Amino acid sequence: MKRLYSWNVNGLRACMQKGFVEFLEREDPDVLCVQETKMQPEQADFVFPGYEVYWNSAVKKGYSGTAVLTKEMPLAVWKDMGIERHNTEGRTLTLEYPEYYLVNVYVPNSQSELARLSYRMEWEDDVRAYLRGLKEKKPVIVTGDFNVAKEEIDLKNPKANRGNAGFSDEEREKMRALLASGFVDSFRYLYPDREEAYSWWSYRFRSREKNAGWRIDYFLVSEGYEGQIADSLILSEQMGSDHCPIALYLNEKEKNE
């Protein structure tokens, strides 16, 4: 079984002091996709034994950024989507493996008063087209912080948050459009009715203690690849960030003798 994990660490250097190393040793993922690293690799001398590490850092220091730790050497790795206006914030990192492409994404936050919504809408359309292009070649697994709760079941207080960043009609429609383009939400595929399953909690109002959260971190797989899903997990007990890790366990295809 292959074990893929994803975690928005809200600053990797800070998370390293809050249980990241212990998490990595305990869970022993085959691949870990990290979002919001908030660092360039030269800013710290981290060593992760047994893993190759690939980075896509934002130009602006202390902001955004993605990374992938992998035990299996990928066939190829590339940053971004090949669109210049999206190439400065380190928001996508793609690894090609023999069976599939793995795409780590950190979707732009629409921000207070939806100040960045128009840019996000462009980004969403471009990343959907990018993923569709990959999917024509082989299956795609896309994971990360999508910064949207798609349905009311995916957050604690949907009525109070209607129209806010992460639960605006526009953002939800883009997520539905991505799924309609040929992707399956692995968690809802297995657990369509599970309530109070969240991956992010505000630092305010003791939200995590009350489990007043949002499910905004996902593992999506190409339609037709659902049969490989063994489990899709939300590790809500893991502290260290305002997000918790999520995981996708895959049944490995038997190799022909």
Catalytic residue numbers, as ranges: 106, 145
Helices 117-135 and 169-180, interaxial angle, to 10°? 10
C-alpha closest to that of 7 among 29, 17, 26: 29
Cα-based angle 78, 84, 89 (whole degrees, multiple of 5): 70
Helices then strands, counting H and E runs in the chain, come out as: 7, 14
Cα-based angle 146, 151, 153 (whole degrees, multiple of 5): 110
- The total number of residues shown for the chain amounts to 257
Cβ–Cβ under 8 Å, residues 108 and 147: yes
Which residues contact residue 205 at a Cβ distance below 8 angstroms, ignoring those fewer than 6 apart?
212
Query: How many CB atoms sit inside 10 A of residue 150's CB?
Result: 22
Cβ–Cβ under 8 Å, residues 25 and 17: no
Q: How far apart are the first and last CA of the chain?
A: 18
> Tokens at residue 231, please?
């489990």
**How many CA atoms lie less than 13 Å away from 142 in the CB half-sphere?**
26
